[in-house]
């Protein structure tokens, strides 16, 4: 997700009441988390966020879904299972939500190709669609697009940067 795309999402978030943010430090980078008691609304790597704009627009806090997101990230680092926070997937089409729903079933330490994920999502020959959907993912790590690789076995692109994707896959033992 580009900084321009993040600006659009932050503008959308501003329309909600009671959105807060917090920051969780992973070994590879910090993750900004935006949410309220009902839903996690957005997550982004710090390198993709303009922190000054965030601090000007949103209060820092830990409503229920941010607390759940932080717990999930802590479990992720500890390599222990944990429940996901509730996501706001309303910005996405039914087909995009189908891809994300299939992707969250890929276990820690496993990978899937774009084509296989398309088939799992009920979108035959939809590898390109899956790639575009991964580029729109506003919940990295939670919706683990880092686990999606090319049919050749190469890593492919990653919105947060290939270095972060590689680090996450190494952490999971998938490389």
Q: Show which residues are catalytic.
A: 145
Taking every pair of C-alpha atoms in the chain, what is the biggest distance, in angstroms? 45
Q: Which two tokens stand for residue 29?
A: 């980078």
Q: Which two tokens stand for residue 166?
A: 């590689």
Closest C-alpha among 118, 112, 122 to residue 151: 112
Question: How long a stretch of residues is the chain?
Answer: 175
Distance, CA of 130 to CA of 95 (rounded, Å): 9
Q: Which two tokens stand for residue 126?
A: 């939809």
């Amino acid at each position: 997700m580009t900084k321009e795309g993040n600006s659009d999402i932050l503008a959308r978030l501003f329309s909600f009441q009671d959105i807060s943010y917090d920051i969780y430090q992973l070994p590879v980078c910090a993750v900004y988390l935006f949410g309220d008691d009902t839903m996690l609304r957005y997550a982004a790597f710090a390198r993709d966020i303009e922190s000054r704009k965030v601090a000007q627009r949103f209060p820092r806090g830990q409503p229920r879904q941010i607390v759940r997101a932080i717990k999930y990230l802590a479990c992720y680092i500890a390599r222990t299972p944990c429940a996901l926070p509730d996501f706001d997937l309303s910005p996405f089409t039914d087909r995009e939500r189908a891809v994300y729903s299939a992707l969250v079933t890929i276990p820690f330490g496993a990978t899937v190709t774009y084509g296989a994920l398309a088939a799992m999502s009920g979108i035959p020959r939809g590898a390109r669609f899956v790639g575009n959907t991964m580029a729109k993912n506003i919940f990295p790590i939670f919706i683990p697009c880092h686990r999606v690789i090319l049919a050749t076995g190469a890593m492919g692109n990653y919105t947060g940067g290939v270095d972060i994707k590689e680090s996450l896959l190494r952490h999971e033992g998938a490389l």
